[in-house]
């Protein structure tokens, strides 16, 4: 008798949970475009660059997580569709030497202050970009 009451209660709770409306999750992601200079900083007249798109608030792997030799990282002049929805002046990024985002590879950088990593090449594997409060 006691188990029947428990079973009936659980069935009622399950029915309520199944019938309750589930609000849709906001699946919009925002990203910005960055340019990584992969040639030595001493080769300023003819730099080699790699464009990347970094999703905000998500660690973005560079070169499939393998170390990429770089001398600087800057915000790109081009903007993706989602980048235009974000105030670029409120975005800050940081490069990491490892794919896990544990070992810093740069100081925080933004649209007005690029990450000047070195005049020589240094290894970076990931970048994290996020919105900072103004």
Query: Residue 57 belongs to a domain with what CATH number?
Result: 2.60.20
pTM: 0.73
> Which pLDDT band holds residue 6 (cuts at 50, 70, 90)?
low
Distance linking the first and last C-alpha atoms of the chain: 63
CA distance 101 to 94: 9
Tell me, yes or no, whether 46 lies in a domain.
yes
Residue 16 lies in a domain: no
Residue 62 lies in a domain: yes
Token reading at 83: 């980048």
Inside any domain, residue 115? yes
Query: Which pLDDT band, with edges at 50, 70 and 90, does 134 fall under?
Result: low
Q: Which residues of 48-81 are buried (b: 16+ CB within 10 A; e: fewer)?
A: ebeebebebeebbbbbeeebbbbbbbbbbeeeee
Pairing mode, if any, of strands 122-124 and 68-70? antiparallel
Quote the domain boundaries for residue 106. Answer: 31-131
Q: Is residue 51 part of a domain?
A: yes
Task: Note the pLDDT of residue 33.
Answer: 93
Lowest mean pLDDT segment, chosen from 4-8, 66-70, 81-85? 81-85
- Select the more confidently predicted residue: 16 or 55: 55
Domain total in the chain: 1
**Do the domain assignments include residue 21?**
no
In a domain? residue 15: no
Strand, coil or helix: what is 37? strand
């Amino acid at each position: 008798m006691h188990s029947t009451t428990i079973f009936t209660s659980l069935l009622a709770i399950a029915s309520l949970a199944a019938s309750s409306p589930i609000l849709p999750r906001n699946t919009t992601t925002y990203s910005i475009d960055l340019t990584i200079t992969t040639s030595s900083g001493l080769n300023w007249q003819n730099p080699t660059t790699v464009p990347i798109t970094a999703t905000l608030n998500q660690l973005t792997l560079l070169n499939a997580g393998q170390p990429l030799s770089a001398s600087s990282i800057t915000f790109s002049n081009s903007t993706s569709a989602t980048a235009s929805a974000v105030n670029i002046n409120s975005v800050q990024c940081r490069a990491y030497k490892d794919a896990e985002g544990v070992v810093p590879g740069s100081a925080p950088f933004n649209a007005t202050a690029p990450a000047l990593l070195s005049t020589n090449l240094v290894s970076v594997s990931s970048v994290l970009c996020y919105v900072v409060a103004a």
